[in-house]
Amino acid sequence: MANIKSQIKRNKQSEVARQRNKKSKSALKTYINKFEETIAGKDKKAAKDALTQAVSRLDKAASKGLIHHNNAAVKKSRLTKKFNAL
């Protein structure tokens, strides 16, 4: 455990950020999974709505630095391909 005041504070800040990032990444995965479920259901309108939400969340995560922007682009591309195949 750290003895230095600034390091103790930094550890607390890191833990808060870690929890926030974990929550956000989990929510992002949930939106992607919801899209996958609607694709399996063959409902084109619901899939379009789910795709829009998932892409929006991916863009937001990339802009905040939660995931790399190229990673977001690859995920969006794959989701769109699945939607177009429907």
Q: In this structure, what CATH number is given to the domain that contains residue 68?
A: 1.20.58.110
Tell me what pLDDT residue 86 has.
87
Tell me how far apart the alpha carbons of residues 43 and 19 are, in angstroms, rounded to a whole number.
35
Give the pLDDT of residue 1. Answer: 74
Question: What is the domain range of residue 29?
Answer: 23-85
Question: How far from the centroid of its chain's Cα atoms is residue 28's Cα?
Answer: 3
Residue by residue, pLDDT tens for the chain (86 residues) are 788 999 999 999 999 999 999 999 999 999 999 999 999 998 899 999 999 999 999 999 999 999 999 999 999 999 999 999 98
Q: Which two tokens stand for residue 9?
A: 């504070």
Say how many domains are in the chain: 1
In a domain, 33, yes or no: yes
Closest to 86 in 3D by CA, of 41, 55, 32: 41
The confidence score (pLDDT) of residue 71 equals: 97
Residues 6 or more apart whose Cβ sits within 8 Å of residue 35: 47, 50, 51, 53, 54, 79, 82, 83
pLDDT of residue 67: 95
